[in-house]
Structure formats: C-alpha cells, structure tokens
Amino acid sequence: MADFRLPRNDELRWPSGSAQVIALLTLHPAELAERVGIPLMSGVEEGLGPWQGIGLILGSGRPIELVWYEGADQSAPTELRADVNDDYSSAREEAGVALALTPRDVAWVLPAGGRAGE
C-alpha cells in the first residue's frame, strides 16, 4: 500500500505559504493517475494554461503536489512541488518511495540550496 493519502480541505495549503518545484518527472497524467490510484484534478492557470495534477500528503505528513501543464509539448515533465521551507532532498526521497519512482522517472532535481531554473 502506498504511503500517501489525499489531503483534507484544511490541509490544502503550504505550511510556509508557498511551494517550490523540487524535481521534474517524466510521468504524464495517465501514468501518474495510475500510480496514485485516482483520477487527477484539472484546471487552467492564468499564463500557464491547462493543467492536470494532484496534491498528496505523504506518510510523514508532508504535503506535495504533482502538476503537469498541457502546453504545446506533450512530452513536458510533471512538476514535483514541496513547501519552500521543506528539506528538498528528504521530500524527493519520500515522494520517490511513495510513488515508486525509478531513476528513469526523474528528469531533473533541484540542486541543494537552489531554486527552480538554476
């Protein structure tokens, strides 16, 4: 059994108030939905366009978010987000175990002490 759950309404926020992209995954919406066992949510974000994704609470209680933006490139990666004040390495490791990620599933990781785009 996976070590994550869907958040309750009162858990749908980041402890610090904002999130950071900590990794880019090669998982696309259908594969991601299969791994979490439920359909993804969808919407449109101004300036970024249509998205599919899901928020999860990992076994430790840490929130993560997985978001894929449709865009023009169907091979675009899925963003793995964690709280901006979280330990990114630990968050990636726990998410990797919970989602049964393999090295092939990870296209990029945020360098230690870095910010997205560095």
Beta bridge partners of 45: 49
Judge whether 73 lies within some domain: yes
Beta bridge partners of 69: 51
- Report the pLDDT value the prediction gives residue 118, as an integer from 0 to 100: 47
- Report the pLDDT value the prediction gives residue 5, as an integer from 0 to 100: 94
Question: CB atoms < 10 A from the CB of 38, how many?
Answer: 9
Beta strands per DSSP E along 1-118:
4-5, 19-25, 41-45, 49-58, 63-69, 78-83, 106-109
Judge whether 118 lies within some domain: no
Element (H, E) at 33: helix 29-36
Judge whether 65 lies within some domain: yes
Judge whether 116 lies within some domain: no
- Report the pLDDT value the prediction gives residue 2, as an integer from 0 to 100: 67
Residue 103 and residue 25 in contact, taking contact as beta carbons nearer than 8 Å: no
Tens digits of residue pLDDT in 32-81: 999 999 999 999 999 989 999 999 999 999 999 999 999 767 788 999 99
And the tokens for 109? 């990781």
pTM, two decimal places: 0.91
DSSP for residue 48:
T
- Report the pLDDT value the prediction gives residue 72, as an integer from 0 to 100: 66
Q: What's the domain count of the chain?
A: 1
Q: Which domain holds residue 56?
A: 4-109
Tens digits of residue pLDDT in 15-25: 999 999 999 99
Judge whether 71 lies within some domain: yes
Burial 57-88 (b: 16+ CB within 10 A, else e): bbeeebbbbbbbbeeeeeeebbbbbbbeebeb
Instruction: Indicate if the pLDDT at residue 103 is higher than 90.
Output: yes
- Report the pLDDT value the prediction gives residue 116, as an integer from 0 to 100: 52
